Amino acid sequence: MLDLAARWLRSFGEGYYTIGSAGHEGNAAVAAALRPTDPALLHYRSGGFYCVRAAQAAGGFPAAPEGRPDGGDDPDDAEPEASTDPDRAGPDRPAPTPTADPTLVTDPSPVTDPSSADGPSSVAGPLSEPDAEVPAEVVPVPAEVAPDAGGPAPGATPARSGETPDDPESVVPLPTGAGVTAVADGEAGTGLPALPTPDPDDGYVQAARDVLRGVVASAREPIAGGRHKVFGHADLAVIPTTSTIASHLPRAVGMGLALERLRRVGGGRRPGAAVPEAGGDGAATSPWPADAIVVCSFGDASVNHATATAAFNTAGWYDHTGLRIPVLFVCEDNGLGISVRSPKGWVEATLRARPGIRYFTADGTDPVETYRVAEQAAGWVRRHRRPAVLHLTTVRLMGHAGADAETAYRSPAEISADLARDPLLATARLLVATGYATGEELLARYDERGWQVRRIAEEVLDEPKLASPAEVVAELAPRRPARLSRALADAAARAAGPNAGARAEAFGGKPPELAGPLTLAQSINAALADGMLDHPGMAVFGEDVAAKGGVYGVTKGLRDRFGAARVFDTLLDETSILGLGLGAGVAGMLPVPEIQYLAYLHNAEDQLRGEAATMRFFSRGAYRNPMVVRVAGLAYQEGFGGHFHNDNSVAVLRDVPGLVIAVPARPDDAAPMLRTCLAAAAVDGSVCAFLEPIALYHTRDLYADGDGEWLDEYAGPGAWAARHVPIGRARVYGVGSAEDLTIITFGNGVRMSLRAAATLADEGIGSRVVDLRWLAPLPVADIVRESSATGRVLVVDETRRSGGVGEGVIAALVDGGYVGAARRVAGLDCFVPLGPAARQVLVSEEAITQGARTLLAR
C-alpha cells in the first residue's frame, strides 16, 4: 500500500521516491524474530521490517522471544548437513508448500566454535575477547501470532495492482471500498469514505506516516527531516543507511565488534536509559542493551560489491581469530539488480562459501518459514555472539521503481510467476486455510488500511518542506567552539587532578612535558596517550599500529600501555578499517583508525563521504559518527617514491561536506590540534581527518643541521587550555618586518616557506607566513586579514594545481573582498614519481623564493 501511495504521489509531482518493498514483505517476519532494541541497518526494500519494528515499539506486536521456553539446548547448535533439496525456493524456483520445515545449513567447513569445550578459552584481541556464550532470559514463546496482534502478515492484502505502467506520470490507484470512487490527479479529499482519523498510537499508522513523509520530503519526517527517503528512527533503533549498494555492511561489522567490547566492559545500556556523550571521565556506553545483536539487510546484487566482500571477509577474519561479532546479515534475494539477473545459484554459493559466517536460508515468501528460521538465526547469533547470514529468497513486484518498465527485460511469464508467489497472497491463503479470517474479512481490512494510507498520504502533502539553506545544513556538522573549549579545560583539570596518578603510571613516571623537545611523531604519540587516558571509549587501530607501533613509530608503546583491546592491528583493508570506526562510533566509542598512507584512503573514501559524514545529516543529529581518522600522507619522502607512498591528493577529502581536515606541520601544533579533533568528535560527533605529513615526522632542524628548531616542548595539562587550537584558525609567523609579503601555506610548505622567507629577509623583504593548519574548514577570516595586511599574497600549495588547496584559498580571497596582488606556486598535475624525479613536479624552496620575487616585481 505504501508503494502504491508513493507512486500515486509521484504521478502528480508530489512524491520523490518510488523504490518500494513489494514482494519483500517477508522481512517483516525477520523483524518479528528480533527485539526492538536490536540495532538495524535497513536497505530500501525493508519496509515490512520497519513497520513491524514500529508496531513492536508501540506495543502492537509481540517482541521476539527472550529464549527457549524449555531452557534447553537449541537443536540449531548442531552442525546439520547442507540442504540439497531441489525444491528449495529461490529466484529461479517455485516456492515449496507453506508447511515445509525451515532449512538451516552451515558453512561446509565450519570454524571451530571458540566457546565450545574443545575450543580455545581465551584469545586476546581488538575490542572484544571470546568467552562462553551469553545466557538468554527464558520466557514463553508464543506458538502463533494472534490475528489481532497486528503486523504486516495478519490481515495483509490478498491481491495487489499489477505491473506498473510504463509512463511514470500515470496515476496509480489505491484500493477502493464498495461505492467509493477513487481520487485521480491529486484532488485530495474527493470521494473519501467517512473513516475515523487514524489512531496515532497505532504503530503501523506511525510507520506509514514516517515512510510517506520521506516520500514527499516533509521536514517533519522523523529521521532525515526531508533530506532523503531512508528507513530510520532513533526510538526504533533503526539507523539510516545512505546507500543501497552494501556500503553500510562494514559499519554493521564495526557495530557488532564494538557492542561486544562494550558488553564485556559493562558498557551495555538498558532500553530507555539516557546515552551520555563520549569522552570525559565516564566509560563509553552503548545505546543498546548488552546482549543486543546487529541486523543488516541488503539485496542479492549487493553481494558482489567490494564493500560487501570487505564486510563478510572482516566478520569471518575476526571469527577465525576467536573474536566475537554478533551480526545477522539478511540478504533479500529477488534475483535482480534493477535489470541485471543474479546468476542461478550464485548468491547461495557466495554466501555459503564465507568462512566464519553461519548460513541460514528460508523462503521469504512464506511468512511461517521465514519467522521460524529468522528466530533460529537471531537466537544463534545472540547466544554465540558470532556472525550469521540469513538468505531470504523473495520476489520483486511492480518493478525496481515507478519509472521501471520490467517488460523490457522480463517476460510476462516471469512477472506472472512472481505475482503468484506474492508473500501477501501467501499470508492471506494461510490465514483463510487456518480459519483466522475469511477472504471477505481480509479484503475489508485491506480496503480499510488502504484508505488509512491514502488519508495519511494526503495529510503529509501539506506538511512543510525544508525551505532555506540554513534548514538543510543545520545538522550537517554543528560547531560549538565554546563547549569545545570547556571540554578541553575539563580534560586538562582531570589530567592534572584525579587522573594524575594514572597519567604518571602510563608514561612510566616521566610525562612527555618532561622529556625535552619532541619531534612531530613523538608529539602525536604523546597526545594519543593523553587522549586514551581521558577517553575510556577511545580505541586506536589500523595496519601495523599495535605490535610494530606504526610503520613510522607514531603509535609506539600504546598497546603496552593500554592493552590489545584498545590498541590493535587490523586486517589490511581500508574499507574494513573505516567500517570498524563507523560502527564503533555509532555504538558509543571514540574510534581513532589509522590509514597507513594517504593513497590507501582512496580505496575506501566513500566510507568517509557516504557513511561517516552523512550520518548526522541524514538523522537530524539523532545518530552521530564521532571519528578521528589519522592519515599519514603528503609527499617529500626522500628515497621513497611512487604515488602510493608519496601522495599529495587531498581534493577528495575537501569535497566532503562537514568533514574536518587538520594538517599539523609542527610538534607544538600537532598535540593541541589532535586534542581539538578528539574533543570535537566527543562533543559534536565530528568526523575528522588528521593528515600527518610523513616527511616531517622525524624532522628536527629548520634552517641548519643541528639547530633543533623544528622540535618543541610538549605542553603539560596546565597549558592545554592556553594552547588550544580552535578548528578553522591559522597560525602566523613574522619573518623580518613582515610587511611586504604574505605567504599562505600548510604542511611541508610551512617549513619550506619559513626557509624561503629567511632568504628573502636577507634581501630586505619582510614576510608573514600563514600556516592554514585546517584545510576544512579553511580559516577564511585569517586568510583575508593577513593578506590585506601586505596587499601581496603568495599561495604555496604542495598539492596539485588543479583541484588543489590553493584554488580554495584564492577563491576565499576573492569572496572575502581582497583586492591586492596574488600568485600561486603549486605542484604539477602529475603523480609523484620515484626518486629524484619527484623534485621536478613538487614545490621547492627555490620556486617559492622566485615566486615571491616575481610577485613583488609587479
Residues 330-363: pLDDT tens digits?
999 988 888 888 999 999 999 999 999 999 999 9
- Cβ-Cβ contacts under 8 Å for 622 (sequence gap 6 or more): 223, 232, 234
Instruction: Examine the residue annotation and report whether 248 is marked as an active-site residue of this protein.
Output: no
Phi-psi region at 649: left, alpha or beta (left = phi > 0; alpha = psi -120 to 50): beta
Q: What 3 state SS string does 671-720 have?
A: HHHHHHHHHHHHHHCCEEEEEEEHHHCCCCCCCCCCCCCCCECCCCHHHC
Over range 725-734, report the average pLDDT: 97
Give residue 220's pLDDT. Answer: 94
Residue 665 DSSP SS3: coil
Give residue 477's pLDDT. Answer: 86
Q: Where are the alpha helices (H) located in 437-515, listed in sequence order?
A: 439-461, 469-473, 481-496, 500-506
Q: Tell how far CA 779 is from the center of its chain.
A: 28
- Mean pLDDT across the chain: 83
Phi-psi region at 642: left, alpha or beta (left = phi > 0; alpha = psi -120 to 50): left
Give residue 402's pLDDT. Answer: 80
Choice among 233, 400, 645, 724 that is catalytic? 645
Torsion of the alpha carbons at 533, 539, 543 and 549, rounded to the nearest 10 = 10
Give residue 109's pLDDT. Answer: 35
Q: Is 723 exposed, middle or buried (0-12, 13-18, 19+ CB in 10 A)?
A: middle
Give residue 66's pLDDT. Answer: 61
Confidence band for 140, pLDDT divided at 50, 70 and 90: very low
Give residue 99's pLDDT. Answer: 33
Backbone φ and ψ for 660, nearest 5 degrees, come out as: -90, 130
What is the CB neighbour count within 10 angstroms for residue 429? 14
CA-CA distance, 761 to 732, in Å (whole number)? Answer: 16
Per 3-state DSSP, what percentage of the chain is helix, strand, and coil (rounded to 5)? 35, 10, 50
What pTM did the predictor assign? 0.84
Q: Which residues pair with 692 in a beta bridge?
A: 632
Confidence band for 712, pLDDT divided at 50, 70 and 90: very high
Give residue 804's pLDDT. Answer: 93
Q: Tell how far CA 429 is from the center of its chain.
A: 40
Give residue 336's pLDDT. Answer: 87
Q: Is the pLDDT of residue 754 over 70?
A: yes
CA-CA distance, 818 to 655, in Å (whole number)? Answer: 24
Looking at residue 607, the DSSP 8-state letter turns out to be: I
Give residue 149's pLDDT. Answer: 31
CA-CA distance, 439 to 447, in Å (whole number)? Answer: 12
Q: How far is CA 553 from CA 544, 545, 715, in A?
A: 10, 8, 21
Confidence band for 638, pLDDT divided at 50, 70 and 90: confident
> 681-707: per-residue pLDDT in tens?
999 999 999 999 999 999 999 999 999
Grid cell 574510534 is found at: 591
Degrees (nearest 5) of the Cα angle 428, 429, 432? 85
Looking at residue 839, the DSSP 8-state letter turns out to be: G
Backbone φ and ψ for 428, nearest 5 degrees, come out as: -60, -45
CA-CA distance, 119 to 300, in Å (whole number)? Answer: 34
Confidence band for 632, pLDDT divided at 50, 70 and 90: very high
**Least confident segment among 116-120, 650-654, 673-677, 828-832:** 116-120
Looking at the chain, the number of H-run helices and the number of E-run strands are 25, 21
> 67-80: per-residue pLDDT in tens?
543 333 454 454 43
- Cβ-Cβ contacts under 8 Å for 165 (sequence gap 6 or more): 172
